């Protein structure tokens, strides 16, 4: 080994003591060199030098042998998954392209009907329009549906947020006001949710849920009539009760 190579090796050992300790600890646990490389960012040759003399138990050896046997199968599954995803994207693009020639108002009408059918309030107790979701894209689409199809004026909208007690209410209000284009004066008092200690909801949904409410009997009757008419013509077996 040349003097330069020796110096480089010494520098590597000095520079990465934590990596060395982590790699040897993982090897003692029975990890393969490739598995260790996923956690320690050095070359495979370095891992080999660090871990060469570490003995493995029979159980650990059997696991590595079994893993090696399964590697071709796992690679095949990964290739199939990648190919399947590509095919799905190509197919989806073709289907969506078919819609590009359709009337945008008709698409909005159908989208709004189906989304409201799935997520909207249909109870006749309050006879009010209501739609709740965490997905800002759905909220945007439904606001467009309410405004352009049902022609609901802006002053009719009320926004009610549902958010964790650990969430930032003001930040969430700013967010949903921007998404819905509804002013703060139309926001009702937020519903504060008490989540369990280990709940991850606040990380997944930092802005909570947004509920769009329109307290208008005529608007409610219109949206229910749209759903019933749509199902009668296109899904007769799934009519509303």
The 10s digit of each residue's pLDDT in 43-56 is 888 888 899 889 98
Three-state DSSP class for residue 160: strand
- Number of structural domains (the chain) is 2
Q: Give per-residue burial for 22-56: e unless 16+ CB within 10 Å, then b.
A: bbbebbeebbbbebbbeebebeeebbebbbeeeeb
Q: Is the pLDDT of residue 4 over 80?
A: no
β-pairing, 191-193 vs 157-164, is parallel
β-pairing, 129-133 vs 191-193, is unpaired
| pLDDT at site 14 | 47
- What integer best gives the mean pLDDT of the chain? 85
Q: How many CB atoms lie within 10 A of CB 241?
A: 3
148 lies in the same domain as 210: yes
16 lies in the same domain as 112: no
**What does the DSSP 8-state code read for residue 124?**
T
121 lies in the same domain as 30: no
Q: Is the pLDDT of residue 75 over 70?
A: yes
| pLDDT at site 187 | 96
Q: Rounded to the nearest 5°, which phi and psi values hold at 163?
A: -145, 150
For residue 49, the surrounding DSSP H or E stretch is helix 44-51
Within a domain: residue 95?
A: no
Q: Is the pLDDT of residue 164 over 60?
A: yes
* Domain residue limits at 210: 104-238
Give the pLDDT band (50/70/90) at residue 189: very high
231 lies in the same domain as 113: yes
The 10s digit of each residue's pLDDT in 195-239 is 777 777 777 888 999 999 999 999 999 999 999 999 888 866 555
Within a domain: residue 78?
A: no
CA distance 77 to 225: 48
Q: What is the pLDDT averaged over residues 133-161?
A: 96
Within a domain: residue 182?
A: yes
136 lies in the same domain as 193: yes
């Amino acid at each position: 080994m040349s003097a330069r190579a020796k110096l480089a090796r010494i520098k590597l050992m000095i520079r990465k003591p934590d990596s060395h300790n982590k790699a040897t600890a993982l090897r003692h646990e029975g990890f393969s060199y490739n598995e260790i490389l996923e956690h320690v960012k050095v070359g495979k040759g370095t891992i080999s030098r660090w871990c060469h003399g570490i003995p493995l138990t029979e159980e650990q050896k059997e696991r590595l042998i079994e893993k090696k046997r399964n590697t071709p199968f796992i690679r095949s599954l990964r290739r199939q998954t990648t190919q399947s995803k590509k095919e799905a994207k190509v197919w989806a693009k073709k289907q969506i392209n078919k819609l590009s020639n359709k009337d945008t108002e008709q698409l909005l009408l159908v989208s709004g009907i189906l989304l409201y059918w799935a997520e909207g309030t249909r109870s006749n107790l309050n006879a009010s329009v209501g739609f709740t979701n965490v997905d800002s894209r759905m909220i945007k689409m439904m606001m467009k549906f309410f405004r352009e199809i049902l022609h609901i004026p802006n002053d009719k909208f009320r926004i009610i947020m549902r958010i964790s007690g650990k969430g930032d209410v003001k930040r969430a209000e700013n967010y949903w006001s921007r998404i819905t284009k509804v002013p703060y004066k139309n926001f009702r008092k937020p519903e504060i949710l008490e989540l369990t200690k280990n709940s991850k909801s606040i990380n997944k949904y930092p802005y909570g849920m947004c509920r769009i409410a329109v307290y208008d009997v005529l608007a409610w009757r219109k949206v229910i009539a749209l759903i019933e008419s749509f199902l009668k013509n296109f899904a007769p077996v799934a009519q509303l009760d």
